[in-house]
Amino acid sequence: MLEWLAGGAEAFIGVFNEGGKVFIAFVTGILPTLIVLLTAVYAIIELVGEQRVHKVARYAAGNVFTRYTILPLLAVFFLTNPMAYTFGVFLEEKHKPAFYDSAVSFVHPITGLFPHANPGELFVWLGVAAGITKLVENGTAPFSLAKLALFYFVVGLVVILLKGIVTEWITKIIARREGVTL
């Protein structure tokens, strides 16, 4: 019985030891990268000018394709999650639900290439990346981690475009049914 308890205690503390190792890996790996990326993005905004960034956002809101691809991409890249949703101020009321749907759906696909965009949920990408890295080390991965990140990004853009179009359509139907003018 004593050995069983000792084994349980060792396993329990082992979980925290492994967690500590992962934390140290983050501190020496991804955290400095995130800090530098955030600093770079804020520096770009300062250099370009916030008004110019807003002007580009207003332009991107002009048609359905840019409204649900370029605008969410710019919002998530420059403002990161959750501030990205504030780019909705550049849209007419009837487009805001679809923009939100597109932007919220893009915070994960962008993380593989630009981890600063959604650092709070970076663990999702890091979990996938750890699995692919093991496969690459074993020589059994059919693609590289970089290729996965690019595919994730491109598929994310296609998905947010489709979601934006469908959500805009649903919003029109519901507004018409409820007698609301947007």
For 119-167, the pLDDT digits (tens) are: 877 888 888 888 888 888 888 888 888 888 899 999 999 999 999 999 9
The answer to whether the CB of 41 falls within 8 A of the CB of 49 is no
What is the pLDDT confidence band of residue 92, given thresholds at 50, 70 and 90?
A: confident
Q: For residue 105, what are the contacts with CB-CB under 8 A and spacing of at least 6?
A: 72, 156, 159, 160, 163
How many C-beta atoms lie closer than 10 Å to residue 151's C-beta? 13
As a residue count, the chain comes to: 182
* 1 pLDDT more than 80: no
Count of structural domains within the chain: 1
pLDDT of residue 66: 93
11-52 pLDDT, tens digit each: 888 888 888 887 787 777 767 777 777 787 778 878 988 788
Asked if 74 and 87 count as a contact pair (C-beta separation under 8 A), the reply is yes
Average pLDDT, the chain: 86
Domain that holds residue 166: 2-178
- Nearest C-alpha neighbor of 80 from the set 127, 25, 41, 24: 41
Estimate the crossing angle of helix 70-79 against helix 96-106, to 10 degrees: 60
Cis peptide before 109 (omega within 30 of 0): no
